[in-house]
Structure 1
Amino acid sequence: VSDISLVDYIGVKEKYSKYLPHTAGRYQTVRFRKAGCPIVERLCNSMMMHGRNNGKKLMTVRIVKHAFEIIHLLSGENPVQVLVNAIINSGPREDSTRIGRAGTVRRQAVDVSPLRRVNQAIWLICTGAREAAFRNIKTIAECLADEIMNAAKGSSNS
């Protein structure tokens, strides 16, 4: 992980480098526990969105597996490293928040916390892949692979 602020929030330790991204952990019980969740599993969990896909983790694991195989074939690099680079590049560094004062609402620029950067980066990658695959010949795995590779390169296509 090249970004020093995200080192603690992107789980790529040795014990996480399993082939099946499914730990069945309860990451919501304690604050910041999901920061220790393997990053590939968080990608899988984020792919399980939009009512018809809720709870279908095996399907999303298969999608991510195919996407990683495509990334490895096209780039020749480690797909997990490409995913980490994509998350570092696509996470927002600054955001705006609402501050209400005397009945008027102003927007105030604020820095984004590292965990929120990772969360939003994963959400943006998954949403972009889902929208690209909708009503398209390309499969969701191909679209996810394209999205991750473009985000890792810093391309404007992602």
Structure 2
Amino acid sequence: MVIIRQPVYLPHSAGRYAQKRFRKAQCPIIERLTNALMMNGRNNGKKIMAVRIVAHAFEIVHIMTDQNPIQIAVDAIVNCGPREDSTRIGSAGTVRRQAVDVSPLRRVNQAIALLTIGAREAAFRNIKSVAECLAEELINAAKGSSNSYAIKKKDELERVAKSNR
């Protein structure tokens, strides 16, 4: 059951969705994207910086595509979530990998993580800002283009899972 909450203006709920186990599923998707950008020691806790990056990336997406950037982000998350993964099944020292289906919540979590990791890696040692790289990553992922880091990783995960069926 999904509860529709009031629309929010700022993706800043002060950890209200982290109090119970599955409550993060009700957290606005853009806030989840913002929180995922606050990774690596030097960026921990810098929420205002992450909000600024996402806002700037959305402006770039709107200019480049003339579409609603939130819709582009949702399409990117839908396209980047792996449908199948492999897990380790092991007993008595022998370990083999078994293909398993991915739950909807984990698909969203992995898609957001892959998008932000791709943007961060593209911006590292590059003249482009993180916002520009995030915008590019979102647009490529929404199209399903293999130029996107997230799409490449998703395809790789599904290929490995297929070989372990």
Q: Same fold (TM over 0.5)?
A: yes
Match of 1:128 in 2: 118
Q: Which amino acid aligns with 2:87?
A: T
TM-score (norm 2): 0.85
Select which of 28, 44, 55 maps to 1:54.
Answer: 44
Select which of 133, 137, 140 maps to 2:130.
Answer: 140
Offset of residue 14 of structure 1: 6.5
Q: Could you tell me the percent identity over the aligned residues?
A: 71
Q: SS of 2:6's equivalent?
A: helix
Structure 1 residues 156, 114: closer, same or farther in 2, change over 3 A? same
- The count of corresponding residues between Structure 1 and Structure 2 is 148
TM-score (norm 1): 0.89
Offset of residue 157 of structure 1: 0.6
Select which of 52, 71, 90 maps to 2:80.
Answer: 90
Q: Deviations over 1:75-131 (max 9, x none)?
A: 011111100000000000000011113431110000000000000000000000000
Select which of 31, 35, 53 maps to 2:21.
Answer: 31
Unaligned runs of 5+ in 2: 149-165
Offset of residue 25 of structure 1: 3.5
Match of 1:15 in 2: 6
Q: SS of 1:143's equivalent?
A: helix
Paired with 1:74 and 1:33, the residues of 2 have a C-alpha distance of: 34
Paired with 1:126 and 1:25, the residues of 2 have a C-alpha distance of: 20
Paired with 1:20 and 1:149, the residues of 2 have a C-alpha distance of: 22
Large movers: runs of 4+ above 4 Å: none
Paired with 2:39 and 2:146, the residues of 1 have a C-alpha distance of: 24
Q: Which amino acid aligns with 1:48?
A: M
Paired with 2:93 and 2:127, the residues of 1 have a C-alpha distance of: 50
Match of 2:101 in 1: 111
Match of 1:155 in 2: 145
Q: SS of 2:13's equivalent?
A: coil
